[in-house]
Structure 1
Amino acid sequence: MTSGSGVWITLEGGDGSGKTTQSDLLADWLTEAGRTVVRTREPGGSEVGQLIRDIVLHHRGDIAPRAEALLYAADRAHHVATVVRPALARGEVVLQDRYLDSSVAYQGAGRVLDGDEIRNLSLWAAEGALPDLTVLLDLDPESARVRLDAADKPFDRLEAEKTEFHARVRDSYLALAEAEPERFLVLDASASPEAIAAQIRDRVATLVG
């Protein structure tokens, strides 16, 4: 997506699938290998994005599904333009928690909106930008809820949704991965963190040399 030598990796999956753990392990490995790593997330990877994150995840009132989708797209447009593209142009590795696939899964399938419309909105917002690799950590909603309960912290608006919502999200993620096998690496998130990290490193090594 840029003329630089940067690499863009996104991590996707349902809440409680272990994205933060794997991002930490991968960032440490890349740093030890001498690469400059930019850790970021959506929503909230910029100052503007943090304001949007507070709304979409922590607003106590209802948000209309289409309004929610537009807020995520606004965050994405600013984030890609001000954080992702500049880092890639500098030759850095962008390691990002969630991108447009989350919107298709959560705002599309979860909120029962048209997934193709959500994807097209995100691609327009990000000027067509897609990552080099998307790691999908797949975990059934029941196991994910056990992990979230064990974390003993308040749920955000999406984490608090019912099991049926999260089942639709999971199905959407798997469908996205099936449609783009060259971009996705799908891993069983119930495996040990060390085993998952090793599989991610094997794939990432082919991108970063």
Structure 2
Amino acid sequence: MSTGPAAAASGAYARTGVFVCFEGGDGSGKSTQSELLGGWLEGQGYAVLSTFEPGATEVGRKLRSIVLSPETGAIADRTEALLYAADKAEHVAAVVRPALERGAVVITDRYVDSMLAYQGAGRALDVDEVERVARWATGDLRPHLTVVLDLEPEHGLGRFEERDRIEGESLEFHLRVRDGFLRMAAADPDHYVVLDARADREEIAAQVRDRVAPLLEQAVRR
């Protein structure tokens, strides 16, 4: 797996703006923590763009419907990975890079690591191959900080009354996904923090702010 320190050092990190990503299993609270961080940053006067994957662009919305709708049914693992890669390519080109170039703090709910964890570790595809596709699609743009909200899959999935096509996968699938996230974080502690998703949400938010604050020299205020 090429997500160790050497791989991280070779990645592209924006020189303007700050790129923060929330990752983790389904139901771990990524959207909540993205909103809390964005609200805090806006209160501090920073320009903030909150976004998500898949589906934050017009193209992405169509791709999201394909990959997440249970009506899609079974598709080949490689097809699924390529659909997610296409969403990421459009997202970075149309949304993420322009905001970073303006000096904004970009907060995304999911990014490349989700593809490596779900389509790589989860689907049991070769993670190195999946990563090469994902890095090419995104121009190897890396978050300055990735927050992994760690939660046992049985707790996270229990929060949904109805599950989409990915959430409906087996517990074993989601256990592989969780392990994938944790291995990526362990390989690059300078750019990752792993937090217990079952902790109080304000406690989690405070820990996130502590890690984000030193990065804000690159960000602009409104």
Residue 191 of structure 2 aligns with which residue? 183
Structure 1 spans left out of the alignment, 5+ residues: none
Partners of 2:202 and 2:21 in 1: CA distance: 19
Residue-by-residue CA offset, 1:18-61 (whole Å, 9 max, x unaligned): 10110111111011000111111111111111110010001512
2:203 is the counterpart of 1:195: yes
Partners of 1:75 and 1:126 in 2: CA distance: 10
Letter in 2 for 1:57: L
Secondary structure, aligned partner of 2:159: helix
Residue-by-residue CA offset, 1:100-159 (whole Å, 9 max, x unaligned): 1000100011111011111111001111111111000000112112223xxx3x211111
Structure 2 spans left out of the alignment, 5+ residues: 1-12, 218-222
2:29 is the counterpart of 1:18: yes
2:135 is the counterpart of 1:127: no
Residue 96 of structure 1 aligns with which residue? 108
Residue-by-residue CA offset, 1:173-196 (whole Å, 9 max, x unaligned): 101111111111110111110110
Partners of 1:19 and 1:179 in 2: CA distance: 21
Residue 164 of structure 2 aligns with which residue? 156
Higher relative contact order, structure no. (Cα contacts within 8 Å, ≥ 6 residues apart): 2
Partners of 2:115 and 2:95 in 1: CA distance: 19
Secondary structure, aligned partner of 2:124: coil
For this pair of structures, how many residues does the alignment match?
A: 204
Partners of 1:2 and 1:132 in 2: CA distance: 8
Partners of 1:23 and 1:56 in 2: CA distance: 23
Alignment match of 1:7 (pick from 18, 37, 48) = 18
State the 1:67 CA deviation: 0.1
Alignment match of 1:28 (pick from 24, 39, 42) = 39
Residue 6 of structure 2 aligns with which residue? none
- Give me the TM-score of the superposition, normalised by structure 2: 0.89
RMSD: 1.1
Runs of 4+ in 1 over 4 A off after TM superposition: none
